[in-house]
Structure 1
Amino acid sequence: MRDISGTGMPSERAASRLSRLSVVIAVSASALLSVVGPTYAAPAKDPLPADIPDYQAALDAVKSTDVRNAVCRFLRTPVPTGDAGTPVQPIPETAEPCQGLPIFTIKDPLARNEITPGFAAGTAQPLPTEAVKLTQLVSSLSTTVNGRNATVMLAPTRGGGWHLAAVRDGDSDATYAGKATAGTLVFTEPQIRGWYQLKLLTVEPLNDQARQGLGGKTSVSLSEYQKLVKARYADKQPGSEYDAKGYSSGYSLRGTEDDDASSSTLLLAGGSGTALALVGGAAVLRRRRRTSTG
């Protein structure tokens, strides 16, 4: 978008245009993140993010004893060694999983947005509401525990609310999600572990993987970015020949509003980072595994 400063435009017209742009930003962000469900009506004295549906349920989840115990069990279990083919490792039950661990709190959840399959396939318009979708919420810990960081990942529950989907080693997801500012969106291209910031219709990289994904450029238009991801994933969608031959699961969102606790383990398949998943009520630890795009 062209800078209007120094163009000789009357100040009234310039102010009017800037006002309209602010409205576009707000409307785009609200429309984008409201597709998951109705927004939470926050009390005036205790404002909650209007762009995350059922946010109070998310807060309740990360502050619950069950989630805290899951985090403690994860932190007590040594990170497994070996390659991606290492079998899942059961995490033993303990009566007081947090006993003896340093005191920590779980921070308030942040939005984790991903590019949509339609955008990656080139069938969706290069617009914020078409390109990016809220898929999960992420919460990091207030401090390291025995030298380890962890991220709590929540998935939307069928019928409303949020549930624990995973506990992942490290805090990069929450760190990048926290870089979102008023008028911008932060999203990930999970196949390359790239993180980007979207300002109106301009995409900027936030990490080295994203910079490589943009061919070394410091920014591209959203339509240019769509051409890049289409070249990477259009022939690798679920149901494609690439998928049928078993090379990967194709490109798809990690989770949707139809996910529930019984299917939350799907959120970790092919994901990056050691993570705890809930499978039939039992906790298991998966070794880091990268999804191939070629």
Structure 2
Amino acid sequence: MTVTRSAWCVLAAALLGLGSPGAATAVAPVWVPLTADRLAAAVAAAHTPEAIGYARTNLRRPGRPEPAGITVAATGIPAYTLDPAFVRGDGTGPAAVLAYVAVVARAADGRTTTIEATPAAAGWRVTTALSGDDETRLARELRPGTVLLSEPQINGWYELGPGGVRLLRASLPQNPVGALVPLTEYQHQVHDRYADKQPGAARSPAWPWWSAAGAAVAAAAVFGLRRLRTASRS
């Protein structure tokens, strides 16, 4: 079972002695980690016939043999994305929320695709597979106690830790690759970039705030900066 935000607050209160005179204020976690059981369930969802069907569709290439001998990894990489409240700067919750668990599938000829297992009300569901194994490769650069964070508007990937973010790769980098940006500074950056694009913002457009990714991806494609990841859907 995932540790909820409220559960974290209760635990922090117990540890810090909240409720007693002069007690410190609880600090919300930067992200809510997956338990081992939930991670295993996400990986199991990527092994279902339906999930393998998505992988097979993504692995097909015109003029090439039908992908055969597909094997699905026994491990998965949790991929996080920005919490809208963190972008707005009006919440006390985590900076990032889980987007999906990435599980690599590989054909006998070496072609790879990434199955995305996303949280659902009744466990996990798979609705897409993306080309390549970006998340797995990037996760090798993570240090202990950090997670993989996506900022899709710039096709960016970060290492997210308690003290801040470190850019690993981006088509439209806003910070130097490898440099640590404190979390407070990063919050100001994403607030300036996206807060007015969220639903309900003063100048909110008709599309969701994260759809700014479309403009970023288009610009990146023009300059050949973004490696295309095609998605398969049924």
- Cα displacement (A) at 1:102: 4.0
Asked if 1:134 corresponds to 2:118, the answer is no
Aligned to 1:187: 149
Contact 1:117 1:251 in 2 (8 A): no
Contact 2:113 2:131 survives alignment (8 Å): yes
Residue 154 of structure 1 corresponds to 117
Output the CA distance in 2 between the equivalents of 1:216 and 1:75: 31
Return the match for 2:186 from 220, 225, 238.
Answer: 225
Q: Which runs of 5+ in 2 are unaligned?
A: 1-27, 212-227
TM-score by length of structure 2 reads 0.68
Matched, 1:57 2:41: yes
Q: Give 3-state SS (helix, strand or coil) of 2:72's partner.
A: coil
Map Cα deviations across residues 24-56 of structure 1 (whole Å, 9 max, x no partner): xxx947x6225xxxx4xxxxxxxxx3xxx5233
Q: Does the aligned pair in 1 maintain the 2:77–2:102 contact within 8 Å? A: yes
Matched, 1:202 2:161: no
In the TM superposition, residue 63 of structure 1 has moved relative to its aligned partner by 2.0
Q: Does 1:121 align with 2:105?
A: no
Which residue does the alignment assign to 1:101? 67
Question: How far did residue 166 of structure 1 move?
Answer: 0.7
Equivalent-residue separation in structure 2 for 1:238 and 1:276 (angstroms): 28
Q: Is the 8 A contact 2:147 2:159 kept in 1?
A: yes
Give the structure with higher Rg (CA): 1
Q: Deviations over 1:41-79 (max 9, x none)?
A: xxxxxxxx3xxx523322322222232232112322549
Q: CA RMSD in A?
A: 3.0
Of structures 1 and 2, the one scoring higher in RCO (CA 8 A, sep 6+) is 1
- Which residues of 2 match residues 1-294 of structure 1 at below 5 A? 28=29, 32-33=32-33, 39=35, 49=36, 54-76=38-60, 78=62, 101-107=67-73, 108-125=75-92, 130-142=94-106, 148-159=111-122, 161-209=123-171, 212-214=173-175, 218-240=179-201, 242-244=203-205, 246=206, 248-251=207-210, 273-277=229-233, 283=234
Identity across the alignment (%): 27
5+ residue gaps, structure 1, are: 1-26, 40-48, 80-98, 253-271, 278-282, 284-294
C-alpha distance in 2 between matches for 1:230 and 1:196: 17
- Which has the larger share of strand? 2
Provide the rounded CA distance (Å) in 2 between the counterparts of 1:181 and 1:111: 14
Measure the CA separation in 2 of the matches of 1:208 and 1:232: 15
Secondary structure, counterpart of 2:33 in structure 1: helix
State the match for 2:18 in structure 1: none
Contact 1:194/1:213 (<8 A) preserved:
no
Distance in 2 (alpha carbons) for counterparts of 1:235 and 1:189: 16
Cα distance change of structure 1 residues 145 and 167 upon mapping to structure 2, 3 Å threshold? farther
Query: Matched residue pairs, number?
Result: 189
Aligned-partner residue type, residue 97 of structure 2: K
Q: Is the 8 A contact 2:57 2:232 kept in 1?
A: no
Cα distance, 1:208 vs structure 2: 3.9
